[in-house]
Structure 1
């Protein structure tokens, strides 16, 4: 039986190593005291060389063991369906977190097979909640006690029991190989701390380690993304064992005592990275304290290696930084030049596996690391899929003016339109205050291709199609790509221009208000040679469109308000926004937890269940935004003055589109539509504040009919 306790960035780490490095800097600087010179300095020299030697040995050992195994390992194919399991999610009392995990489950796991094992009463939809009684007596600790209670009290007739942590989201799940224990790998999710997420990427070597040791059939740890155990094996091994690392102990006992077969699958579940460095340290402390108590269940020849691995792995995130610091140590240490070379070599090796980390985790990883500037400067065609949809039903004819003010839109089956090719244009800085835009096209020629304008390494405006112009202004947190489904629908007949507001450009700093945003929109029209247009605005973009229609009435032929209230901010809304702004001001980037809270708040329950990828896609994008950019955007929004008393001045065709599940209640939209002299209301069922993304076909139908109505006249 082979097993490796090492990974390339594990050793020469920990608080003791950090303290030693700091002390050594002091020791190596000049004569301080005879005791220091005669006693401490030689000890420091020897310790530093010992640390480096251990690190080098561990690196070579780990490389041979893991790479040689991992290279030849082929994850076994699934034999059992996902339905052949009972699911048990473990938690203390994290109701909201567990609800997200349950909502993300595939439909193949039947509702009757979804169980939550909690330490306190919680309310979770879509699963059966069991509360472990306080008087349940067990020598197991931590999760082991809950696992043992569930084994005894939750009957299971399925082939496997699949165990998940409270924050494990099932992203891909083909089924179970024919083995006794099936290990799923993990895929970290950013939750607010860039440094903590960074640390998760540092330990990528451990992911390769985990998969690699599927070949010899032994784990270095278990659980990770999730672990499935044959029901019969669970009853034989039990969880009744005093340790904090229940999963590892269970697997080793099953292998040693019952000759169980352990495999690692190719499927990956998603686990949230610790939301802060403090949480990360506490997590590692728990793992370390439990891991050192696992030795009695391991073969004796493995004890020392396992203990060393646990100590060093627990502090692995700071290893590259320690190596970098040590590489700069001055002084008269014997062989100091060789020491510098070797320590830099070890740092470079750790960095290689760091890069391997964000490559392994694909797009979500490199957005939050050094590649963020590269990510933001890449072409939009490589950054985001162009989503478009059109109803399979016949396109409705132009809506007559006498039609009822309230109509219900229905969702059709979407069909993706091909995305036009694009090119990047370098831009003039002198045309508008906040936008760099090229000279307007000649009157006789309107562009039939996207024309993209660069700003802060990103594009500013997307100009597609030809014909009468339709301009799109996005909402808070969003960007111009939120209108891709509508642009794909309209470009065959119209010229569509979607632009990024200040918050998505390098002009996000400083105070500004809705009037400034309205002026920005008009300046963009000037730069693009557009005299007037149908102006479509969502949320704050809708309120901006209202101000354009009021202050520049000759520039707007028709007005479309998507989930955009015309009234002032309420006191309750202001309190909510101010809390969000305060959190944003404290962070360089939008915290992951906040991004996901907002994504859930602005979408409907139906969208949560049917299209969770929509929430995840936008939340991941929001995590790359500067906190101040979104904070300024929010402040401009909630400081606005309502314009409900001026709506009668907008004497042009107007369409109010509103999700029935929007956080801004539908009554506001009804009042807006009623106050507009030529306004109609379209309700979008099962849609929240992002109705054009949640139900694109429904919104496309209404928008197409409206634009045709405006320009046919």
Structure 2
């Protein structure tokens, strides 16, 4: 006999097949084994394929998007992956949201005006993308926010900001000690959900990940947390006034507020990728690319060129 959660998920899948335009799917952390990918039907669109701007997470770079860039370009999408300030080719800059928004402005402006633009953000890139959409709702067809379904506001962020400040001033031995946070996370020991989420947001949860070389200095973490402290990503989601897809790894602790995110913006779609962790595009690239294609198809189908002519803050 199916569990109650499984019955709810199956009913949701059937409802999605029968009523397209909401495309809302949900899987809750209490029952993460449900694979919702087959239930999401890609929407058809008559216009040009959406252009895509990829935005990486903290202490990584645009290099994490290699397989996604190849995937969307092969499907006919224009695409670019940017480096945030303090990362990659911009490692000599200090991270601020204002500077990040300028980088996204330039990336969006690089595409033709008649092409819808979707920003795909991972972790810090997801929070940055939601914040950008909140202040630039006329520029975008939608957001795909990955690995960022936990509101960063609150004590965990403040605590990790202080810890990161110490790390920036500390020696090598102390930095290695913080790397042991990764061991605690992987061993499954009990940590508050907010502390786990903050560890992943700051990059501590993947401190020694060989797939993500060339990490910036810890100073960038203090800059990031200073910018995010006191800011609500749920408020940004509410203010964005563009469709949003959430893509999360089943094992990611930054799924903490999934249900609240869906309640905040009822038109939001959610995909949980089975067996993937925080770095969902690296852990399960094929499943992630499949979900991304479906998201791009849906967001393109709901975009109107007239949107770019609407003033910022116009009613949806």
Q: 1:553 to 1:587 in 2, by over 3 A?
A: farther
Q: Which residue of 1 aligns with 2:251?
A: 661
Partners in 1 of 2:284 and 2:184 — Cα distance? Answer: 16
Is 1:470 aligned with 2:52? yes
Shift of 1:492: 1.0
In our comparison, the structure showing a higher alpha carbon Rg is 1
Partner residue of 1:516 out of 88, 93, 99? 99
State the secondary structure of the residue aligned to 2:276: coil
Q: Which residue of 2 aligns with 1:406?
A: 26
Shift of 1:507: 4.8
Report the TM-score, using the length of structure 2 for normalisation: 0.66
Q: 1:489 to 1:547 in 2, by over 3 A?
A: same
State the secondary structure of the residue aligned to 1:564: coil
Q: Deviations over 1:671-712 (max 9, x none)?
A: 112322421111123222212211222221111111022224
Report the TM-score, using the length of structure 1 for normalisation: 0.31
Contact in 2 for aligned 1:658/1:669 (Cα 8 Å): no
Is 1:484 aligned with 2:66? yes
State the secondary structure of the residue aligned to 2:125: helix
Contact in 1 for aligned 2:168/2:218 (Cα 8 Å): yes
State the secondary structure of the residue aligned to 2:282: helix
Q: Which residue of 2 aligns with 1:137?
A: none
Partners in 2 of 1:618 and 1:555 — Cα distance? Answer: 33
State the secondary structure of the residue aligned to 2:269: strand
Partner residue of 1:533 out of 100, 104, 117? 117
Structure with more contact order per residue of length (Cα contacts < 8 Å, sep ≥ 6): 2
Q: Which residue of 2 aligns with 1:670?
A: 259
Is 1:636 aligned with 2:227? yes
Shift of 1:510: 6.7
Shift of 1:473: 0.7
Which ranges in structure 2 are unaligned for 5 or more consecutive residues?
1-16, 28-33, 39-47, 189-205, 303-316
Q: Deviations over 1:118-173 (max 9, x none)?
A: xxxxxxxxxxxxxxxxxxxxxxxxxxxxxxxxxxxxxxxxxxxxxxxxxxxxxxxx
Q: Which residue of 1 aligns with 2:129?
A: 545
State the secondary structure of the residue aligned to 1:553: coil
Q: Deviations over 1:250-303 (max 9, x none)?
A: xxxxxxxxxxxxxxxxxxxxxxxxxxxxxxxxxxxxxxxxxxxxxxxxxxxxxx
Partners in 1 of 2:89 and 2:208 — Cα distance? Answer: 25
Partners in 2 of 1:516 and 1:474 — Cα distance? Answer: 15
Q: 1:406 to 1:562 in 2, by over 3 A?
A: same
State the secondary structure of the residue aligned to 2:141: strand
Which ranges in structure 1 are unaligned for 5 or more consecutive residues?
1-396, 413-465, 606-612
Q: 1:402 to 1:567 in 2, by over 3 A?
A: same
Contact in 2 for aligned 1:602/1:662 (Cα 8 Å): no
Shift of 1:471: 0.7
Partners in 2 of 1:661 and 1:524 — Cα distance? Answer: 31
Partners in 2 of 1:581 and 1:525 — Cα distance? Answer: 33
Q: 1:601 to 1:705 in 2, by over 3 A?
A: farther
The count of aligned residue pairs is 250
Q: Deviations over 1:85-123 (max 9, x none)?
A: xxxxxxxxxxxxxxxxxxxxxxxxxxxxxxxxxxxxxxx
Q: Which residue of 2 aligns with 1:649?
A: 239
Contact in 2 for aligned 1:503/1:629 (Cα 8 Å): yes
Partners in 2 of 1:578 and 1:503 — Cα distance? Answer: 19
Q: Deviations over 1:297-341 (max 9, x none)?
A: xxxxxxxxxxxxxxxxxxxxxxxxxxxxxxxxxxxxxxxxxxxxx
Q: 1:486 to 1:670 in 2, by over 3 A?
A: farther
State the secondary structure of the residue aligned to 2:253: coil
Partners in 1 of 2:155 and 2:132 — Cα distance? Answer: 26
Q: Which residue of 2 aligns with 1:229?
A: none
Q: Which residue of 2 aligns with 1:219?
A: none
Q: 1:663 to 1:584 in 2, by over 3 A?
A: farther
Q: How does 1:44-123 map to 2 (within 5 A)?
A: none
Q: 1:615 to 1:700 in 2, by over 3 A?
A: farther
Q: 1:541 to 1:603 in 2, by over 3 A?
A: farther
Contact in 2 for aligned 1:604/1:662 (Cα 8 Å): no
